[in-house]
Every structure is written in C-alpha cells, then in structure tokens.
Structure 1
Amino acid sequence: MDRLPKTFVTPNTNYSTRNTVQIFWFLLYNILIVPLLFVGFHIAALFNHKIRRGIQGRGKLLQDIENAFPVLSPDEKRILFHCASLGEFEQVKPILKRIVEVIPQCKRIVTFFSPSGYEHVGQCPYLDLAIYLPFDSLRAIRQFLNRIRPSAVIISKHDIWPNLVWALHSRRIPIFLINATMPKDSLLLKPILRSFYRSVFSRLNFVAPASETDRQLFSNLLSPAQQVEVIGDTRFDQVYFRSQESFQKKLLPQDLVSGHVTVCLGSTWPSDEIHLFPAVIELFKEFPNLLLIIVPHEPSPKRVEEIRRFFENTKLNVKTFSQIQEEESNSYPAVIIVDRIGILANLYSYSQIAYVGGSFGPGVHNVMEPAACGNTVLFGPRILNSPEAQKLVELGAGAVVNSKQEVYQTLRKLLADPSVTKKKGQIAARFIEENLGATEAIINKISSMMAKKRES
C-alpha cells in the first residue's frame, strides 16, 4: 500500500486526536473498503455491460492522457472537473465556457465516473480532454495526478472519492465542491459514516451548497474554518444558456409545429405513462390541433416500439423523431416519439406545456429545462427531491397531478386557455432568470484561490 498522505501526519499535538481518527479511516478505507469495491465492481461487470464498459475504458486512461498532453509545461494551468455522469457535466458547462473567456490559456479536463457521461459527452468546444476518473486506489490516483498535475479540481454536486480528495489535499491542490446537495436523510449523516465522511469533506477548500438547507446539512461534515458559501446553482445558468441555444436550433420542421399547441412529455417512465397516455388520447378528441412529443427516459428500441403500438391503436398518426429527420413528407404526425438521447432540453423550446417524468416513480427529473423555455410544468406527486419543482408549484407556474383524471383536467384547462398557459410559462422562465449568476461567482472563487496558491 502507498504511503500515508503527509497531511495526515503533523507534530502539532493540538490535532493529535483528530489525526488519529483521520489515520484510522484512511487505513480502514484502503485496507478493507477499496479491495472490496475493486472485487465488487469486477464481479458486477460480469452481469452489467455498463460497469464492464467503465472498467474497460479505464484500462487506457493513462494512454489517453499521454496522447492528449505528451508534454506538460510546469507553468501551464490545468483545471480538472469531475462529474459522476452527464447530468453533472451539464451543470459545469457554463463554467467551462466562462473559463475559455477569462483564462483562455488554461487546459480544461473533465473526468466521469459513469459510461453514460463519458460516452455521450460529444464534441464540446470548451474541453481539451474527457476521460474516466480512475478507480479510487492509492496507486491509481497517484499515477493519474502525476500525469494530469491539475492546478485546481472542481467536483460537481456529490461524487466524492476519498483517496482522490486526500491526495489532492496532500499536494495542496485546491478542491471545490459546487452545486452541492444533501438529502435530509442522507446516509452520510449517520453517526459512524459521518465521522468517516468528515475526514474526507474537511479536506475540501471551498464548498458551494445549492441552498441554505444544504449548507446547514453540510455543516455536520465540515470544519468551522472551511469556506462555505451559498452562491447559487450553476444549473440555472446552464438551463438558461441551453434554452437560448435551443430557440436557435431547428430540430423539427416549422410547418410541423406552427398552428399547434405542443405538449412535451419528458423523461417518462412506464409509471408516468399509465396516467398520461389515456388522458392525452381523450384530449386529442377535444383539441385536434394538439401536438404531442414523447421523450421516454430510456429510449431503447423496445420502449419506443411499445409506445408506438399504444398510440397506433388509437389511429393517431405516429412517427419517431428519426423518421421525421430522415423522411421528406408533407404528412406530419400528431404524436412524435423521440428515439434519441441528449435533445430533450432543446425540444422543450417547441412546447408550451411540459410534463416531467420520474415523478410517479423514483422522483421527478429536471424541471428547470422546461421552465427555462417558458413552459407551464406538470409533474406527478414525487417531487421532494426537487426544490425547483416545489418552487414552481408555489409560484403557480407548476402543478402536481396525482392520477390520469388530474392529468386530463389540468391539461384541459391549460389547452382551453392559452393566455393562462402563456402567463404561467412566463413566470417559470422568470424564476430561472432570477437565479442566474452562480457561474461568475464560482469563477471568481477559482481565480482567487489559484492566485493565492501561486503566491504561497
């Protein structure tokens, strides 16, 4: 096993008890937890192709870095962003874009834990390199940091790995945790785990909780001397930035959407669809100018075909997004089933009313994207995971629907009175606009801390 990070060893007796606890957790994590995780991931990879792809991708990690940066200048700034998956990457995009503008000579590197982030990052003009984060062993982390040599590290939201944080701290590399959220019932706050995670979180240089409630919860894991500040959530900047882009993109023919009232059902699960589909079928009878866009959470060929068969039985004209893109036809559908990923946020620019899925299942997905595009936003009852959904309800720009009857009644009222729908959508968009600015605040913090590091 690699040697103990030097910051865990100090002659200052005032910290002896604290250091003893730190060393205990460090040894336990590396002697017991890391080997168990390693074995567990490899066993799981035998049955899960996603985990298997992640392990295979990490096998060429160091070579990918070598190919991207054959020579690393000691004077060159490199900022490393870590994102668990694609959703967290979307949150750091406005920061990446702004860094290009204010520190253009800085290299920008993003690491992912999940293949769903790494494989779908695409051609981002603000990135110099996208790679997997190595497995959290001491040796892998040391090799990785020796190759990358970051000037600062920014972790988006929650994906904290102990050895990574301990190693960065021992090298005096500033660590930022942004858009940080913590559920009230988080396991991190349980007595024994709280002690362990305090040994990790206390090494962060700056924590930016997403809300005051999150700040109070994080205080259980942080030391009084740490910099903690609620400066907003870059998700607001990102969804606003993307909504402005969306209005410029032409994903659907103008003839298809003009003259229609468009409802977008985004990130739907089967548990959502059993309430939504019967209601919208009834609404087509009353509102023949209705255009329905369905974006299933998992747009696999099987799921797309299941949805297609359901609506074709109603004799409605149904096409997939791919068919519309590939065919030249004057016969436009009443129902569009989206069979591609990564375009939902852009499609909200075509709709006036949106339903956000997951809210009859694990919890509502991103309600900020449709709000940024000026949609009235509906969702099922499970919204405790989304303060933004709760705020939209409070503002009158969103509504909870608990059954197919409520879906029908709520949509019917909105479709029957476009002026009310438009007003609610304007309130939703204003909610996003009033919460902009976190990106600039984070950039200022990064620049300040990096300057202090150079001076020390």
Structure 2
Amino acid sequence: MLQHLYNWMMRAYFLAIKSFGFFNEKAKKRAENNLNYQTVLHKRKPNAPLAWFHCASLGEFEQGRPVIESFSTQYPNWQILLTFFSPSGYDVRKNYAAADIVCYLPIDKPKDARAFVQAFQPNLAVFVKYEFWRNFLINCKEKNIPLLSISTIFRPSQLFFSPFGGFQRQVLHTIDHFFVQNEESAQLLDKIEIKNYSIAGDTRFDRVADTLKNIKAIPLAQKFVADKLCMVCGSVWPEDMEVLLPFMAQNPELKFIVAPHEIQDSEMSKWENRMENGSLRFSNAEKHPDLLQAQCLIIDNVGMLSSLYQYGSFAFIGGAFGAGLHNILEAATFGMPLFFGHKKYHKFQEAHDLIAKQVAFPVANYSEFQDAYNRIDFTKRQQISTDSRSYIEEKTGATEMIMHWIENHIPVDQ
C-alpha cells in the first residue's frame, strides 16, 4: 500500500515539475531532460565494469568528487557514470573529465528506475550524503549491485527515526555500508539497529585540502587586491548583498571580491549602482584604468571561486539568509575569519565546529556584521588562521577510508 502511494507521489511530482516548467527555467530543464540518459547510452562500453556515483547537486558533487577521482585513478579500466538530480549540478559538471558518462537521474518512478539500472548495469553504486531514492536502490539491491552511502549525515527530525518511519527505514537496509560524517549520525543508525557504518567524516575536507595543494593563480585578482586587506564574498545572494553593501560603504579601506551565486546581469547592475566606492566586473577589468582604485571586483563567471579565496584576508559565505549556507570549507582552508547569515547554517556540522572555535561568525544584519569585524585585530586573525588550518588538517582522511573499504569488498579487478 505505502509503496503504491510512494510511486503515485513520484508520478505526481514529475507532473508538477512539468507544469511548473512553464514559469521556471530550472523546472523546465529538469522535466525536459528527465530521460536524457538515453542520449548517452552509446558511451556505455558493454565489457567494462562501471561505477555509478549519484549527487543531488553541486554541493554533493564536491563531496563525491574526491572519491570519484581516487577511484578513476586507481581503477582506470572501470567506466564512471555520474548522475545529478538538479540542473544546477548537471549544467556545471556535464563535461566533468573524470566521468565517462554524465546525465540526469530520472525521477524515481518504478518503470524509469528499472530501465535505468538495466541500461547501465553498474557494478557499484555510490550515493552521496542523503540521496535515498527508493526504486533505484531496490532495483540495485535486487541485482546484487553493491551500494554505498558516503558523507552521509542524519538528523533526528528525519522520518527514518520517527516511530511512524518504518516504510522510510526500509530503504536504508538496501545500503551495504554507510560512511557517516559524525557521531550523531552513527547513534541514529544504532537507534534503528543499523550497524553497517563507519564514522569517516566529510570527504569535502579531502577535496579542499587537495585544492590548497593545487591552487591556481589569478593575476588580475592579485593585481586588484595589491597589498590591501580583502574580503572574498563567495556564492552571495541578493539577501547577502543587503548586509554587504552597507558594510562596504562603511569600510572603504577594505577591498572586496564578490562572486554571485547566480550570474545575472540585472542583479549585478543593481549592486553596482549602490556601490559608493567603485566597482568593476572581472570580464572587463583587465584593461580598465580604475582597477586599482575600485573597491569591489565582481566575478561574472563561474569556476574560480576556490582559487579566489587565496587573496582574502576575510570571507563572507552566501546562502545562509535564504537557501542554505554554501561551502565554507574552501575559505577555511586558507585560514581566515568567516562570516555568514544567521538563519540557514544549522545543518552544516563544519559551521558549528568553526563557530565554536571562533573562526566563523553568523550575523543577523549589517550592525552585527560590523561589530564582529571590528573585534578581529591582527593578533586575532593570526590565531584564527592557525585554528582554521588545523581544523581542516584534522578532518581529512574520509576518502582513504572509503577507498580501503572498496578495495576489500568490491571485485575491482573485473
């Protein structure tokens, strides 16, 4: 009965996305490309083993990426299939070099899930963080495909742990091994008598540590910052800019590099009109005579944010006033004070850890932002740098743990 209800909900969900697509470009892309795996099936080599990695969007991709690249390097005879649920993940990473095949994951309708698994016939499936699509996982289990859940994090409020969550808990029993991020997640699995887990931490720590080793220079940004203190504002939304703009006006001695979450010309123009101390866009700043005089450099492209943090003395990470806090680990790797909104950061363990270490500071408005900034002198910045870098170093190693399990449980030599 509940399985039928779930299947009906998946069909209704797909119809809702199609309908919403008349008003929303992302929903339209998702609906139109729901079965786009059929257009890339020709890339599947019939005699090669295949590892399937699924990520909801870009954030989960960054967690899966260290494992994907380690697997690709260690087992070059395997093909790698990478799937996304979100258009924002697929659009940015559809040409990801470490994957042989990249496509959308179809909506979890029974027929589509069965056809997808049958078409690709994976030899290993790895789902990142909290992706538990019932029909896909059941189909994999029926075909004896090993299933891993990595960088998994659970919260007590999830239905899995409710007295009425028996149906939801069933899908967790399809997973061969969980690599959870923290002790709380392990305790929640213990509570429902699931013991096949390891506390591995978050694979993003391995990713950002690797980024630090392979950082790319951005000469224009270096020239813009010169010898000034700079705040790098990563993945900011309009809500974040409402706090940042008055802060910028009040601190003319401080340089700013602003990387919007979405590159929208109209929104960036609004911000530029309110910047009292001059601004330039990255795309036209190279030959601009006011490069050194401008207070703000707006990054009107994607893909360079992780390298831009090297030029920061401070960082403001966007998203926490609305959709949810974006990646703060990339900035933390460079050892600087971090600021972000006070609303949507609570589900991110690293945010809590860095707040406790007085490396990160949630702020509710411009006034709180300015007060927190004023309390950080040179000596405090030096201590924050040490504590932040140590925190990252202590948390690495999840990828190695996952790869060790694969080596010992999966016939990777096939």
Give the shorter-chain TM-score range: over 0.9
Contact 1:202 1:223 survives alignment (8 Å): no
- The 1-side partners of 2:79 and 2:412 are apart by 19
Partner of 1:77: 49
The answer on 1:142 being equivalent to 2:106 is no
**Runs of 4+ deviating beyond 4 Å:** none
The answer on 1:238 being equivalent to 2:238 is no
Contact 1:280 1:408 survives alignment (8 Å): no
Contact 1:352 1:422 survives alignment (8 Å): no
The answer on 1:46 being equivalent to 2:22 is yes
Partner of 1:341: 302
Q: Which amino acid aligns with 2:83?
A: T
- The 1-side partners of 2:243 and 2:17 are apart by 37
Task: Please give the secondary structure, in 1, of the residue aligned with 2:315.
Answer: strand
Partner of 1:4: none
The answer on 1:63 being equivalent to 2:39 is yes
Give 1:91 shift: 1.1
Partner of 1:17: none
Q: What residue ranges of structure 1 are gaps of 5+ in the alignment?
A: 1-23
Partner of 1:297: 261
Partner of 1:274: 242
Greater CA deviation, 86-95 or 169-178? 86-95
Give 1:61 shift: 1.8
**Alignment coverage as a number of residue pairs:** 412
Give 1:88 shift: 0.8
- The 1-side partners of 2:145 and 2:159 are apart by 28
Task: Please give the secondary structure, in 2, of the residue aligned with 1:101.
Answer: helix
* CA shift in 2, pair 1:34/1:384, >3 Å: closer
Give 1:356 shift: 1.6
Q: How does 1:20-419 map to 2 (within 5 A)?
A: 24-30=1-7, 32-66=8-42, 68-69=43-44, 71-73=45-47, 76-121=48-93, 123-192=95-164, 194-220=165-191, 223-224=193-194, 226-246=195-215, 248-250=216-218, 252-284=220-252, 287=253, 290-311=254-275, 314=276, 316-324=277-285, 327=287, 329=289, 331-332=291-292, 333-382=294-343, 383-414=345-376, 417-419=377-379
Give 1:452 shift: 9.6
- The 2-side partners of 1:51 and 1:235 are apart by 28
Percent identity, aligned pairs only? 26
TM-score, scaled relative to structure 1: 0.84
Q: How does 1:413-452 map to 2 (within 5 A)?
A: 413-414=375-376, 417-451=377-411
Task: Please give the secondary structure, in 1, of the residue aligned with 2:154.
Answer: coil
Q: What residue ranges of structure 2 are gaps of 5+ in the alignment?
A: none
Task: Please give the secondary structure, in 2, of the residue aligned with 1:358.
Answer: coil
Q: Which amino acid aligns with 1:26?
A: Q
Greater CA deviation, 387-396 or 327-336? 327-336
Partner of 1:9: none
1:254-286 deviations in whole A, cap 9, x for unaligned?
A: 3222211111122223333333321231111xx
Task: Please give the secondary structure, in 2, of the residue aligned with 1:130.
Answer: strand
Greater CA deviation, 359-368 or 137-146? 359-368
Q: What's the Cα RMSD here?
A: 2.3
- The 1-side partners of 2:39 and 2:333 are apart by 40
Task: Please give the secondary structure, in 2, of the residue aligned with 1:94.
Answer: helix
- The 2-side partners of 1:331 and 1:37 are apart by 49
TM-score, scaled relative to structure 2: 0.92
- The 2-side partners of 1:363 and 1:27 are apart by 33
Contact 2:94 2:103 survives alignment (8 Å): no
